[in-house]
Structure 1
Amino acid sequence: MSEIGIVLIVGLFVLLLLGVPIAFTLGLLTAVGIWMADYNPMILAQRLIAGSTITSLLAIPGFILVGDLMSAGGLSKRLVRVASVCFGHLTGGLSMSTVAAGTFFGAITGSAPATTAAVGSVMIDELEKRGYSRGYGAALSTSIGPLGQMIPPSIPMIIWGVLSEESISKLFLAGVLPGLIAAAGFCVVGYVHARRLGIAREKRPGVREILAAIREGIWALLAPVVILGGIYGSVFTPTEAAMVGALYSLVIGLFIYKDLQWKSLIPLFIKSMRTTTVIMFIIVVAYGFAWIIASEQIPSQVTQVLLSLTSNPFLILLLLNIMLLVLGAVMDTVSAMVILSGVLTAVGTQVGLDPIQLGAMVVINFAVGMITPPLGYSLFVASTISGLSIEKVARNLWPFFLVLIGVVALTAYVPAVTLWLPGLLG
C-alpha cells in the first residue's frame, strides 16, 4: 500500500479513537492526502462542492422532514392505534402492534432513529402497563428502528444509490422482503416472550372499534400509498416523493388531525434542518475523502488483500459481512458507506455479487449497527425515551439481534430475497 494510503487509514482510526468528529476527521485527512500527493489545493474545494451538488441527495432533507411532521402532526400515534386494534388481541399482540406500527412508519420516513422515537414514545409505556418489562419495551422499540432503513423509502438506500450509481427505485425494492422477514421474526420473538411470561391477551375488539380506528387513521395509512405509489407508478422520482410526503404530512397535521400548530412549525423546521445539516456535512467531506482514497487505488489494494486470504466466495462474503457489522457498530452509517463504497463495489464485483444485492446487504448490515453499541443511534433514542441506561436496554436486545443477523445471512446468501422484487421492475 502507498505511503499516502497508510497515512489515511491509520489517521482515520487514530482520530476516531481520539474522539474527533467524523466530519472534521475526513476533511482533515482529505486535505493531508491532497497535500502529500502534491495535487492543486483547489481540488479540495472542487471535491467538496461536487459532493454537495448531487441531485438525488435532495430526497434526504425531505424524508427527514416527513418523519418530524408525522410525529408532531399525530400521524404516528394513529398508526400505532390502528396496529393495536388489529393485533392487540393475539398472544404477544402488543409486541406485534409495535412491530406493525414500526413497519408502517418506516415505510414513510426511511430513518431508523425516527422510527424508534415515534413508535417507542407511545409503546414503551403501554408495554410496561400490560406486564412487559420496561427493558423489553425499550429493546423492542430499538429493534424496529432498522426497519426504517430496510423498507422503502430508505435514506441509506438513497445514499448508496448515489455512490454506486445504481437505481434507487430498485434498491428500495431490494429492502422490502428483508424488512418484512425481520418484522415477522420480531413478531415471533414477541409471541414467545408473551407465552413465557404468561401475559394475558387483550380483549378482541369489535368491528365498530376496528372501523373507528381505521377511519381515524386512514390519512396516516394513506401516506405510504402516496409516497411509494407515486415512485413505482412513475408519477414522481424519489426526491419528488420526499417533498410530496412532507407536504402531505404538513396538510394532514395542520388541517385534518390538527395536532400540528402553526407556531410549532418554525422550531420543527429548525430541528429538521439541523439533522439534515449534520448528515450533509458528513456526506460532503466524505465525498472528498472517497475521491483521494480512489485516486490512490486503495480499494483495489484492499480487495487484493481480502482475496488473498481465500478464494472461496462463501468465506469472502462471510468476512465482508463480519467487517460491515463491526464497522456499523463503531462508525456513522453515512460516512462509512461513502468511505467504503469503492472497496465494497470492487469486492462485490470479484465475487460476482449483483450490485443491487450488494447495496441491500451493505445497508442492512449498517441498519443492524443502528442497534449495536457503542454508536447505535436507535439504542440512544430508546434509552432516552425509556429513561433506562444503554446497558440495560442492550441486555434485552439479543433475541432481536439474532433475528437481524439471520436477515443479514439471507440477504448475503439467498439472492432472491433482494433481487426478486427489483426483477419485477425490469
Structure 2
Amino acid sequence: MIAAIVFVIMIGLMVFNVPIAICTALAAVGGIAWASDVPMMIFVQRMFTGMDTFTLIAVPLFILTGRFMALGGITNDLISMSKVLVGYFKGGLAYINIVASMLFAGITGSAASDTSSIGAILIPAMEERGFDKDFSVAVTATSSTIGVMIPPSIPMVVYGASSGASIGKLFLGGIIPGILTGVALMIVSGVISHKKNYPSDAFVGWKESILITLKGIPALLTVIIILGGIVGGIFTPTEAAGVAALYSFLLGRFYYKELRFRDIPKMLAEVALTTGQVALMIATASSLAWLFAQQGVPAMIGGLITGITTNKFVLLLIMNALLLFVGTWLDLSPAVIIFTPILLPIATSLGIDPVHFGVIMVVNLAIGLFTPPVGVCLFVSCGIAKCSISYVVKAFIPFLVVMIGVLLLITYVPALVMTIPNLLM
C-alpha cells in the first residue's frame, strides 16, 4: 500500500513539473506519514546517512573535471579529432557528433555535460550544412548518453555506493557497451545520411591529421589516469577523481592556455550548484529507498516478479522493461538508488554478477535520458536547437530501437560486460 501511495505522489507531482528531488522528498514524507510507526525524523536522518559515503565525493570531482575540460579548450580538440577519424564519411558531422561524445564520455562521466558542450557547437553546425534539425537533435541527445557508460561514470559511482560493487570493475564493464552503443548509433546515422544525401567533410590530409591527433592525446590521458590508477591499486575511485580534476586544471591552464584564473570562481559556483542538485536527489532517494526496505517493498516486488515466472531470461526481460519505464519519468541517479535494493537481490538470485547487473541498469536508465517526459539530454538538445520536443520525437525512434538492441545484447551476453573487468581486476 505504501509503495502505491509513494508512486502516486511522485507521478502526480511530476505531472506539474515539480523537480525530481522535491518529488522524491515529498513522496518519502508521505510514505512515512502513512506508516504511522515510523518517526518523521527518520526522513532527515536517512538523507544524511545516504550522503555520508566517502565514495560519493567522486561525484563533484568528476563534475569539476568536466568543467575544467570544457572551458579549457578540450571540446574543440575532441571535435577536431573526431573529424579526422570519421568526418569524410557520408553525413560526416553526424559521425563526428557521436565519436566526439564517445571521447568526451571518457572525461566527464556526465551525459548532460556532453549534450551541452558538444551540442552547442555541432547542432548549429549541422543545421548550417543542411542536416535536418530533428535529426541533429536526435543524434546529439542519444550519443550523449554514452557519457554514463564509458568510464568515468557518475551513475556507476552512485550504483557502486548503493550496492557495494567494485567501482573499478563497473568502469571497465562499461567500455564495451559504450563502444557498441556508439557503433550502433553510427550505423543508424549512416543509413539516414545516405537516404537523405547529407554532406561529408573533406579529408584534411595525413600531416594535419597526425598533428590534430597528437594535440588531443594529453586530454585523452585523463581516462588512462582514472582507470590505470584504479585498476593498478594506486587510487581509490574518489582519489582518482581528485587527481583527474587536478590534471584537467593543469592541462587547461598550461597546455591549452584557455583556462583563466578569473574563470574559476564562476566555474566552482556552477559545480557547486550542479553538485547540490545531484546530492539532493541522492539524499531524498536514499530516504525513500530506506522506507521501501523498512516496509518490505523489495521482497514484495521481488515475489511479484518471480511469481510471474522463474525463467532467468524472462525475468531479465521483465526487469529491463521495468527499468525502461522508470527511466522515462525518474532521473538516473535517484532511480539507481531506489531500484538497486529492489532488483539487485533478484538478479543475484539468478546468478547475475552485481557488476553485470549494474552496467545493465545504467545502460537501461541512460535510454531514459533522451525519452520524455524527464529526459534531460532531450531537453538540453531541444533548447540548443530552439525546437519543441514533439517536433523531434519521430527522429528518435530508429536510435531508440538500436539502443534497446544493444541493451538486450549486453543483458544476454554477459561476456560483453565482464570480460575486461575479469581480465584486469
Q: TM-score, structure 2 length as denominator?
A: 0.94
Q: How far has the Cα of 1:218 moved from its partner?
A: 3.1
What corresponds to 2:91 in structure 1?
92
Structure 1 position 213 matched with structure 2 position 200: no
Q: Distance in 1 between matches of 2:62 and 2:103?
A: 14
Which amino acid letter does the alignment assign opposite residue 141 of structure 2?
T
Structure 1 position 51 matched with structure 2 position 50: yes
Q: How far has the Cα of 1:323 moved from its partner?
A: 1.2
- Say if 2:90 and 2:197, in contact at 8 Å, map to a contact too: no
Q: Aligned pair in 2 of structure 1 residues 261, 310: CA closer, same or farther (>3 Å)?
A: same
Q: Distance in 2 between matches of 1:357 and 1:139?
A: 28
Q: Distance in 1 between matches of 2:351 and 2:332?
A: 24
Q: How far has the Cα of 1:22 moved from its partner?
A: 3.0
What corresponds to 1:164 in structure 2?
163
Question: Relative to structure 2, which stretch is displaced further, 76-85 or 200-209?
Answer: 200-209
What corresponds to 1:409 in structure 2?
408
Question: Relative to structure 2, which stretch is displaced further, 42-51 or 206-215?
Answer: 42-51
What corresponds to 1:8 in structure 2?
6
SS at match of 1:330: coil
Q: Which runs of 5+ in 2 are unaligned?
A: none
What corresponds to 1:351 in structure 2?
350
Q: Distance in 1 between matches of 2:18 and 2:221?
A: 43
- Say if 2:9 and 2:26, in contact at 8 Å, map to a contact too: no
Q: Which runs of 5+ in 1 are unaligned?
A: none
RMSD (Å), alpha carbons: 1.9
Which amino acid letter does the alignment assign opposite residue 128 of structure 2?
K
- Say if 2:356 and 2:414, in contact at 8 Å, map to a contact too: yes
Q: How far has the Cα of 1:166 moved from its partner?
A: 0.7
Q: Distance in 2 between matches of 1:202 and 1:20?
A: 44
Residue-pair matches, total? 424
Which amino acid letter does the alignment assign opposite residue 122 of structure 1?
I
What corresponds to 2:243 in structure 1?
244
Q: Aligned pair in 2 of structure 1 residues 99, 307: CA closer, same or farther (>3 Å)?
A: same
What corresponds to 1:421 in structure 2?
420
Pairing 1:389-404 to 2, within 5 Å after superposition: 389-404=388-403
What corresponds to 1:26 in structure 2?
24
Q: How far has the Cα of 1:46 moved from its partner?
A: 2.7
Q: How far has the Cα of 1:195 moved from its partner?
A: 1.9
What corresponds to 1:255 in structure 2?
254
- Say if 1:108 and 1:227, in contact at 8 Å, map to a contact too: no
Pairing 1:5-154 to 2, within 5 Å after superposition: 5-35=3-33, 36-154=35-153
Q: Distance in 2 between matches of 1:34 and 1:83?
A: 51
Q: Aligned pair in 2 of structure 1 residues 28, 90: CA closer, same or farther (>3 Å)?
A: closer
Q: Distance in 2 between matches of 1:374 and 1:44?
A: 27
SS at match of 2:328: helix
Pairing 1:168-179 to 2, within 5 Å after superposition: 168-179=167-178
Q: How far has the Cα of 1:29 moved from its partner?
A: 3.9
Q: Distance in 2 between matches of 1:32 and 1:102?
A: 40
Q: How far has the Cα of 1:80 moved from its partner?
A: 0.7
- Say if 1:104 and 1:224, in contact at 8 Å, map to a contact too: no
Q: Distance in 2 between matches of 1:336 and 1:46?
A: 20
Q: Aligned pair in 2 of structure 1 residues 259, 296: CA closer, same or farther (>3 Å)?
A: same
Q: Distance in 1 between matches of 2:130 and 2:231?
A: 42
Structure 1 position 342 matched with structure 2 position 312: no
Which amino acid letter does the alignment assign opposite residue 89 of structure 1?
Y
- Say if 1:4 and 1:37, in contact at 8 Å, map to a contact too: no
Q: Distance in 1 between matches of 2:404 and 2:335?
A: 19
